[in-house]
Amino acid sequence: MIPRFLRHVAILSLFALLWRGAPPLRAAAAASGAPAQPNIVVILVDDMGWSDLGCYGGEIPTPHLDALAKNGVRFTQFYNTGRCCPTRASLLTGLYPHQAGMGHMTAPRRDAAGAVLPGYTGQLNDRSVTIPEVLRTAGYFTAMTGKWHVGQALGTTPWGRGFDRSLNAAAGGFYFPGGDKAKLFLNGTDVGSGGQGGVPKEWYSTDLWTDYGLRFIDEARAEKKPFFLYLAHNAPHFPLQAPADEIARFRGKFKDGWDKLREARYARQIAAGLIDKSWPLTPRPEGIPAWSSLSATQQDRYDHMMAIFAAALAHVDTSVGRLVAGLRARGELDNTLILFLADNGGNAEAGIPGRFNGANPGDAHSTVFVGECWAFLENTPFRRYKHYTHEGGVATPLIAHWPAAMPAARRGALETQPGHLVDLMATCVDLAGAAYPATFKNQPIQPMEGVSLRPAFAGSPLARTAPIFFEHEGNAALRRGDDKLVRLGGQGAWELYNLKADRTEQHNLAATQPALVTELATLWETWARRANVLPVMGRAQDGAPAADPAANSAAKKGKKKRKAADEKL
């Protein structure tokens, strides 16, 4: 007869196998027709506009991503936070960025008394939990490669926030051989810029992140575990750099200029059903010159800039193709959910002229920003750019690909339900059969803010009941159903748009619907207090300027320094 304690051990072991989705049980689940715990791969790109991919209307060839879209679902109304650090914090935690401590960048912000503001700690706080921390409890192998950018210098690291394996740079860059490479960390070990710990001496980041992603997948398979891989590209962020032969491939392709190319993207988007033909294309902003007004020399310079951007983005597409081929060769593609999205809209930093420095623009020693003129193209058909909460700043493509679970009728479908980064945690928890914790490491954890996207994969309604909220650098917005309230800057007036009729935000309804503006603004203020948004950027809790003149003066003096530091990231 088996002793009682051994029977208890056996029962507990069985429960553990069920909970972790051990390989035999996962195989049995698959044999029964129900997908086993899926592998999950989240691919994030940096500073890519809503219309840059071929499958979202762009002229840059992205055949591998287009193939994922053709066999998956494209979301047409998905949102990020409008900036890199906040987006990463929100993606990883399922919270709005201020709740996770990342309301701005990686430098803490302080009140007049010198205390760090809880929404602006510059790193993930201990009242948040990350997707890998949660999925590990459900038996997942967790890995990340690429740009981290959520407070590594302050002590928040991938290996300290749930990742079993990681190869990361604290911020980002392309770092060609001979260039100013990033410092890399392999599973928590500082390996310099390469040449240590098996990391090659010479590398291009877009390739390196994928190479190590596949290595980590092999480790997960050796341990017979489902895996979560977060692959965070720095491309196509400035300083834009790409192989010379790939840049040459795109030279001359943008000589039609932003005016004609934007009209062509807009026409393709309408034809594909991505946008409604009743939404007018936003006009060229004041300051951006008509392409036809430029000299041939100026046009050539701008063409060269965009060729470098296109080469960097096309290289990402190639790397996605390698990842997909690797998953297929390993027999893992069918039951892997791949999510591909961007951290913010096209980037207008460096203004109208952009930046085009270096003897050989696009190489490891150059500094290239595409600037506002090309960002205007990248965000077709929307208004504004990275940093802002108008659609051009916060709209992101989202491609979801999961052959084992998406009905054949949904493959190639467009999903119009609004979604947000906060939904990725809820989706992962749902698919993994994990339990989102109320406490973690003896700390109370804030409830996740999003809803699972699983129903949308099958064409069913999402369970969203709350509005979607935004704030960055005083720019703010709220979306509830088709109504969007949006503000330019902390002291700007609220604008109101009906996105079903006017997603390009051309017809401000605030003057004709003041009661709705007041209602939505009250909801935003209530959320802002709950989510640690206020006080922010010199605003006190009541929205008035901070009372301490010295604090305001110090903030103004520090603004240029912070801007310069942020530009490097």
Q: Which residues are catalytic, by number?
A: 84, 149
Contacts of 90 (CB under 8 A, 6+ apart): 80, 81, 96, 97, 100, 102, 420, 421, 422
SS3 assignment, position 42: strand
**Helices (H) then strands (E): counts for the chain:** 15, 19
- 259 contacts 238 by C-beta, under 8 angstroms: no
Please list the residues that pair with 79 across neighbouring strands. Answer: 395, 420
Contacts of 36 (CB under 8 A, 6+ apart): 21, 25, 26, 27, 29, 30, 226, 335
Beta carbons within 10 angstroms of residue 311's beta carbon: 25
CB burial of residue 216 (10 Å; 0-12, 13-18, 19+) = buried
- 131 contacts 228 by C-beta, under 8 angstroms: yes
SS3 assignment, position 36: coil
Q: Using CA atoms, how far apart are residues 181 and 214, in angstroms rounded to an integer? A: 22
Query: What are the DSSP calls for 122-148, one per residue?
Result: SS--TT---HHHHHHTTT-EEEEEEE-
Please give the angle made by the CA atoms of 172, 174 and 176, to the nearest 5 degrees.
140
Helix (H) or strand (E) holding 27: helix 23-31
Tokens representing residue 117 in the block: 């503001």
Tokens representing residue 416 in the block: 């119009």
Torsion sign, CA atoms 182, 183, 188, 191: positive
- 377 contacts 260 by C-beta, under 8 angstroms: no
Nearest to 255 by CA among 309, 311, 313, 294: 294
Amino acid making up residue 300: D
Amino acid making up residue 16: A
SS3 assignment, position 291: helix
